[in-house]
Structure formats: C-alpha cells, structure tokens
Amino acid sequence: MKMECVLFNLMFLLVPGIQFCYSQSFNSSQEILPAYSEKYYHSSLGENVFVFEQGMDMKEIQSLIDTIFNRQSGRKSEFSKNRYALLFKPGRYNLDVKVGYYMQVLGLGESPEDVVIVGAVRSNTTHGNSVLTNFWRSAENLTVIPTVDSTNIWGVSQAAPLRRVYIKGNLQLFDKGYASGGFLADSKIDGIVTSGPQQQWFSRNTEWGKWSGGVWNMMFVGVPDAPSENWPDKPFTTIKETPLIREKPFLAYTEDGYNVKIQKLNKNTIGPGWLNHNKDEKTLLLDEFYIVKPGIDNSESINSALKKGKNLLFTPGIYSLDKSLKITRPGTVIMGIGMATIMPVNANSAMEISDVDGVTVCGIIIDAGKIRSETLFQVGEPGSKRSHESDPVFLYDIFFRVGGPGEGSATSCMVINSKNVCADHLWLWRADHGNGVGWDKNKCANGLIVNGDDVTVYGLFNEHFQEYQTLWNGNNGRVYFYQSEMPYDPPTADAWKHNGINGYASYKVSDQVKSHEAWGVGIYNVFYNAPVIVDNAIETPVTLENKIHHKIIFWLNGNKESIVKSIINGKGGSIGISNRKATMD
C-alpha cells in the first residue's frame, strides 16, 4: 500500500515508557526515531542531517544508523521520499555503517584519514539475490578498517559512488548474485579489490594492492596497479594517466567550522590526489553558501540567493521547482548532500548554467516532472563559443530519472552546449521499472546531448531512452567508460525505425564531427515486447571508427527473435539468442 509523507515539523510524541521523535520526511508508517536521535540532528545543515563526534555513545549512534538503514533498505524503499546525510567529524568510530537507498555517508576531515570507522561502511543485498537495483547511495572522505574477514563489501550498481575513501583491507564490489556497474575514484585500498560477478566497473585515480576479476567491461584511468590490457580475452581497458581532473569538492569541519574544500585542476595524474598531498585550491566558508532546505525553499528563494552571489548547498530532501535555477556567476558551486533531489514541475528545466568559467555542480538527483520539459539540465546557451580551458565547468555525481519515482517526461536529460566541460560520473536513466513507466508514459528521446567542443566524461551510464542514448555533436569529445542499455520496451520493430534505419544506435557521433574518442564502450540489450531489430549499436563517421576503443555488445534477455546486427556502422558481430556477445578492439 502506498504511504503518504507526514509533513510535521520536528516534534515529540510521548508513549508510555518511550519517547519518540517525528521528522518531516518519514513515511507515515515508518516515522518513529528514538528520542535520543535529537542530539545528533543538525538543523542548521538541513532536515535529516545527522552529525557524529568521537566520544559520543557508539551504541546510540549504531542504533540510529540501523534504524535509518532498516527504513531505507529493501524493494519498498527504492523510490522512497526519505533522504539522509550521515556526517562524521574527525575521530575514530567503532561502527557497522550499513548504507541503503538515499543515504550518504560523509567524513568531515581534511584528509580521508581524519575519520576512521572500525567495522564497515557497506552496501549489501537486502532483497532478492543480487544488487542490480542497489542505486542512489554513496560514501566519501573516510577510512574504513574492516573487521569481518578484513573485507568491506560495497555491492552496488549505478549511482552509488565511492570517492576519497581509504580501505585498510580488502574491498568487494558485489554481494550475492549479479551487480551491474559502479564508480570508484580518488581512493586507496590496501588489499585486494574483488569484482566477482560485477559486470562492469569504472575506477579512476585509485591505488590498491591487487585487482581480481572482471566480466564484460572494466575501465581503469590513472590507476597505477591496474590490470594489463588483453582485450577482448580479458575485459580490461587501462589508461595510464587521467588527462584532466579537478577532484570533487568536499565538506569539512575545521577550527573555522564547516567549510567546503575546492580542489586544484590537474593534468596527467596517477593515483589519489590526497595521497599525493595535493593541496586544496581554496576553502569556501559555509556562510558563502545559501543552505537550501526542503519545505522552505523554492525557485524564487534559490534564484534570489544566486543573484546575491551565493553558492548553494542542497540539504537532504525533494525540491519541486516551477522555474529553472539560473547559474550565471563564474565559479559558482552547487553541492547536494544526502541525495538531494530536484524536480521541475512547470515544463521548465531544473538548472541552466550560463556560458561562464568554473561552475561546479555535484551530488544532485534530477527527476523529470509530469509536464514535459525540453531538457532537465543545460550547460551553456545554444551556440556557446567561449573557451573555458583554464577553468572548466565540472559536473560530479549527477543522476537523472525519467519515471520510476512517479510519472515524468522530457525531451532530453542533459544538454552540454559549452566548451571545456568535464563530467565525472553521470547516470541518465529512463526508468525500466517503478511508477509511471511505459513506452507512452515516461517519454524521453535522449539521455545526453553534447554540442560543445572539448567535452570530457569519465564514467557515463546512460540507459533506456527512446532514441539515441548519447548524441555527440561537438568536436574533440572524450569518453572514458560507457555503460548503456537500449530501451526494453519498443512496442514493435516499426515503432523504433527512423529514416529507413532499424532502431537507434546507443552511441551516436554525428556526421559533421571531425574528432572524437571513446574507450571501454559497453552496450547491452533486453527487448521484452515484439521482435526488435537494431542495425547498429554505435554510429560514427567512418573516419572515427577506429577511435572507439574496446567495444562490447551483449544480448541479455527478452524476445528471442530480436537482434542487434552490428557493433559499429555495419561492422563487427551481431548479437541475439544464438550469439549473445560480440566484441571489437
């Protein structure tokens, strides 16, 4: 039965012998937290932000984390309205931190070694026999000393990054059964990273003792101990250096209070920046941010803060916006914690960034609204021509959903018009399950459209859209790792034809593009309805065919008469029920 959200301010309810606490975002049958949770509640940082310090009662903290996790685990919580940020000030904690849907675990140190959790920070199977839908969760900026078999389990699929973590032991990227895609960056693992049945994975600027395993598509960029390439016999793609990166900003607690650390722009890097003692470029005090809170802020208040020159810190919650957020000031930082979610409700976009230098957006989920938006997120106006080479726009951990939580539609999710944009982990998802899902319900043509030149993406996950998943129109684009599923639900083969071509390529580089390169491109297929025929998984100008490196297509399931006829431009093997896998260099 669907449960409505209880809209209470923080209050107390007395029950004989027990005191309980109500918080706004809890569902009506799940809202009770033990009263001691109040001491950890950080109202100035937003609803459902809990801050822990060394010396606090570990049993209480463990009980509170377990209570939140129990609420956020299992199938019933996959599209929950609850959002949580668990923040740890520098210190040492003996805890088993179980991470469920819409939970973000953040250390507040200046180094990951400042916050040490002895026990685990883990994501496990909580329903079924796989972690195929373990989405929307993260852990950042902390050290874990695992106490069970010296192994920390992070069994996830999309939208569940590990960043800036130090595991003093082993790391396991699965739990039970299959796992399907993940992201690891700026981290160190002393022991073995075991991928097991994890089907695809992207790792950047990370060190480990050893990597073990691999199924279809495992990508390593700037990883000194990465496996050697032997494609396609082994599913590894290894790039020695990360050509351009500014690591994601992070929230810290120092003698000056709460602040946000902005990292330096670096080129040709290997290994985690914090381990290399890279210094922050600058520190922004929290009073330079407008703290955005659910139930209080709207398009008008947020845009007003932006006009006053404020950065934005979105706290855990869901924000319905009837106007686009307009980012016009160079260097503006937009940060979300606790899987903060914004949704346009008036056919507007969620966010529009002007063609300016150095804007940063990180840690945001964007949901399509019921009224179709042309695009949900735009970087630069159409026709943008300015160079931002010395101070690029950076986008981190931005996750789009069209359908799933509820009815929604758009023409495209993200359009990048500006030059010199760098995206570090995107998941663009037209929902294949959940609410408001169907070929004629959650309509959306494209996930990502790139019109600007010199755009780089690390870790591009893009799935189920009704035309091209990715449409690249700009020059000098680079993509490091691509994971995509074509739509599950074309009703007929004829319904998915265009211009005499069967189906739509997942990855499309337009005919006018002169230079483009991509590595580790994996495209997968499930067609559940009538037989569907697809001519090409990838389409590029002929001159760029050999610039798409390490390509794999895979027939997962569905109608037995469906077929993808070629990997790229009519070349390479086909896949169907009789031949499920095809690869090319």
**Domain finish residue from 246, 263, 279:** 246
- Torsion of Cα atoms, 543 then 413 then 402 then 549, to 10°: 30
**Is 202 in the same domain as 329?**
no
Whether residue 280 is contained in a domain is answered as no
Same domain, 337 and 239: no
Round to whole Å and give the CA distance between 293 and 44. 9
Cβ burial of 214 (10 Å; 0-12, 13-18, 19+) is middle
pLDDT digits (tens, 9 = 90+) for 231-286: 999 999 999 999 999 999 999 999 989 999 999 999 999 999 999 777 778 999 99
pLDDT at 29: 33
Q: Are residues 375 and 505 in the same domain?
A: yes
CB 466 within 8 A of CB 444: yes
Q: Rounded CA gap, 162 and 132, in Å?
A: 17
Residue 449, φ and ψ in degrees, nearest 5: -120, 125
Q: Which of residues 219, 246, 273 is at a domain's end?
A: 246
Q: Check if the beta carbon of residue 61 is closer than 8 Å to that of residue 95.
A: yes
Helix (H) or strand (E) segment spanning residue 63: helix 58-71
Residue 510, number of CB atoms within 10 A of its CB? 16
Q: Are strands 11-15 and 18-22 parallel, antiparallel or unpaired?
A: antiparallel
Residue 296 lies in a domain: no
Task: Name the residue with higher pLDDT: 289 or 42.
Answer: 289
CB neighbourhood size of 544 (10 A): 17
Range of the domain at 162: 42-246
| Total residue count of the chain as it appears in this document | 585
Q: Is 393 helix (H, G, I), strand (E, B) or coil?
A: strand
Q: Beta partners for 379?
A: 353, 416
Residue 190 lies in a domain: yes
Report which residue type is found at 581.
K
Model pLDDT, residue 32: 62
- Whole-structure pTM value: 0.94
443 lies in the same domain as 567? yes
Task: Kindly state whether residue 178 falls inside one of the protein's structural domains.
Answer: yes
Q: Is 485 a catalytic residue?
A: yes
Tell me the two tokens of residue 209. 């003792």
Nearest to 490 by CA among 542, 525, 524: 525
Whole-angstrom distance, CA of residue 147 vs CA of residue 66:
18
- Are 232 and 342 in the same domain? no
Q: Are residues 207 and 62 in the same domain?
A: yes
pLDDT tens for each residue of 441-455: 999 999 999 999 999
Question: Among 155, 153, 140, 134, which residue's Cα sits nearest to residue 337?
Answer: 140
DSSP 502-540: ES--SEEE-TT---EEEEEEEEEEEE-SS--EES-SEE-
By the 10 Å C-beta count (0-12 exposed, 13-18 middle, 19+ buried), 559 is classed as: middle
CATH of the domain at 53: 2.160.20.10
Quickly tell me which residue has 């859209």 as its tokens. Answer: 465
Helix H or strand E encompassing 373: strand 373-379
Kindly state the DSSP code that residue 286 receives in the 8-state scheme: G
- pLDDT over threshold 60, residue 528: yes
Question: Cβ of 240: how many Cβ atoms within 10 Å?
Answer: 12
Q: What gap in Å lies between CA 349 and CA 238, rounded to an integer? A: 37
Are 322 and 194 contained in the same domain? no
Q: Is residue 26 in a domain?
A: no
Give the pLDDT confidence score for residue 176 in this predicted structure: 86
Is residue 211 domain-shared with residue 354, that is, in the same domain? no
Dihedrals phi, psi of 18, to nearest 5 degrees? -135, 140
- Euclidean distance between the first and the last CA atom of the chain, given in angstroms as a whole number: 50
Mean of all residue pLDDT scores within the chain: 92
Instruction: Please indicate, yes or no, whether residues 328 and 217 belong to a single structural domain of this protein.
Output: no
User: Does residue 167 carry a pLDDT above 70?
Assistant: yes
pLDDT at 4: 27
- Say yes or no to pLDDT of 297 above 80: yes
Residues 197, 329: one domain?
no
Per 3-state DSSP, the chain is made up of helix, strand and coil in percentages (nearest 5) of: 10, 45, 45
CA atoms of 431 and 437, how far apart (whole Å): 6
Asked if 343 contacts 54 with a C-beta cutoff of 8 angstroms, the reply is no
Residue in 78, 485, 539, 545 annotated catalytic = 485
Q: Look at residue 286 and tell me if it is in a domain.
A: no
Rounded average pLDDT over 322-338: 98
Q: What is the pLDDT of residue 28?
A: 32
In a 10 Å sphere around its CB, with 0-12 CB exposed, 13-18 middle and 19+ buried, how is residue 159 labelled? buried
Together in a domain, 71 and 213: yes
Cβ proximity of 425 and 458 under 8 Å: yes
In a domain, 119, yes or no: yes
Q: Please give the tally of structural domains in the chain.
A: 2
β pairing state of 351-353 and 325-327: parallel
Beta bridge partners of 373: 410
Regarding whether 505 and 356 lie in a shared domain, the answer is yes
Contact 417, 384 (CB under 8 A): yes
Specify the DSSP class assigned to residue 24: T
Does the pLDDT at position 65 exceed 70? yes
pLDDT digits (tens, 9 = 90+) for 12-51: 222 222 222 323 333 333 446 677 777 787 778 877 999 9
Is the pLDDT confidence value at 516 over 90? yes
Asked if the structure places residue 306 within a domain, the reply is no
Give the burial class of 92: count Cβ atoms within 10 A of its Cβ; 0-12 exposed, 13-18 middle, 19 or more buried. middle
Residue where one domain finishes, among candidates 201, 224, 246? 246
